[in-house]
Amino acid sequence: MALDRWIALVILMICLAYGYAAFFTMDAGLAPFMKRNPIWPSTFPKILSVLAVLTALSILLGLEKGAADPKPMDINYRRLTDYKLGQALALLGLMVAYALLLRPLGFLLSTLGFLSVGAVILGERRFHILLPVAAAAAGIVWYLVQVVLGIFLSPWPVFLTNGG
């Protein structure tokens, strides 16, 4: 089974769960006066779930056949290991780490880390250029966001700012 049909299957499952919630569980907590309304919170989701289930089924069963010639520019997922999969996964992991460390480490430190580790993952080894560039970028972006845009970004690690 091709990937697009696997995806259709997964979406079908999601839509079935969504539809189950819309049809059977959502209306339980509805206030009595709301039940006299022609539209309930579950009305629109019910329509959507039915349509989505039908569409997902039509893809899953392959009802619509078309010219399925792969575009030359695009990535062939069947040979995913031919590409730099490790680098991509490492960068995704790095993004998750950044999300988790942003608050505890502070913006400046975590951004410096993110930019330099990211470049190292991609094969950059000229640290004398990389580190200053990353540090400058972290500083400039912090200044722009904090001072120009006026959105608070805590710059330093938690243990340094606990006092104030």
Q: Which of 13, 20, 95, 140 binds other proteins (CB under 8 A)?
A: 95
Q: Count, in order, helices (H) and strands (E) of the chain.
A: 6, 0
In this complex, which beta carbon is closest to other proteins, that of residue 21 or of residue 160? Answer: 21
What amino acid is encoded at 124 in this protein? Answer: E
Does 84 help bind other proteins (rule: CB under 8 A)? yes
Does 103 help bind other proteins (rule: CB under 8 A)? yes
Question: Comparing C-alpha atoms, which of 115, 151, 146 is closest to residue 133?
Answer: 115
Contacts 24+ apart (CB under 8 A), 41-48: 45/18, 45/19, 45/21, 46/19, 46/22, 48/18, 48/22
In this complex, which beta carbon is closest to other proteins, that of residue 150 or of residue 163? Answer: 150
Q: Which of 20, 24, 127, 137 binds other proteins (CB under 8 A)?
A: 137
Does 140 help bind other proteins (rule: CB under 8 A)? no
Size of the site for other proteins (CB under 8 A): 71
Scan residues 27-66 and list those touching other proteins (CB under 8 A).
Answer: 29, 34, 37-39, 41, 43-45, 48-49, 51-52, 55-56, 58-59, 63-66
Question: Comparing C-alpha atoms, which of 153, 152, 163, 162 is closest to residue 110?
Answer: 153
